Structure 1
Amino acid sequence: MKTHQIEIQKFKAAANNLHGQVVFKVDALVSNREPIDGIEPSSLLVMTEQNARVLMALLKTQIAEFDSKKPKSRHGRHG
């Protein structure tokens, strides 16, 4: 498995596709990352706090879009 460090520079857009996936359009710096011996090789996704907040807002919007397309339950909450 190849491992990378992916540094998000800017989130440009987000959308849901027909396969139930969320797709992000981003500007990013991608560099190879050598796995450290004895540690499971992983890629890293790195972003600033500001970009993390943008990601959270985009995710909330996309999840709401998924939820709006699901059939509504006919069972109300009991309370």
Structure 2
Amino acid sequence: MRIDKFLKNSRIIKRRTLAKEACEKGRVLINDKEVKPGAEVTPGDIIEVIFGNKTLKVEVIELLEHVTKDDAHKLYKIL
């Protein structure tokens, strides 16, 4: 699954366009590497998202195409 889509599905970032912009500006890292919006995510990857002066680090647990709001937190584990 693409990183921008995963960030939207997991509700880490609310919209896919915002997730895409964050990737293009170098604010999203997968396993300590800057990535483009089309980079693939697999279970076990460590994603780091930089929000201004805050950083969110999560581990991908599961990839799902359609996720309800209540189940979105099950896709990742905060580190």
Which TM-score tier does this pair reach, normalised by the shorter chain?
Answer: under 0.3
Q: TM-score, normalised by structure 1?
A: 0.23
> Is the radius of gyration larger for structure 1 or structure 2?
1
Q: TM-score, normalised by structure 2?
A: 0.23
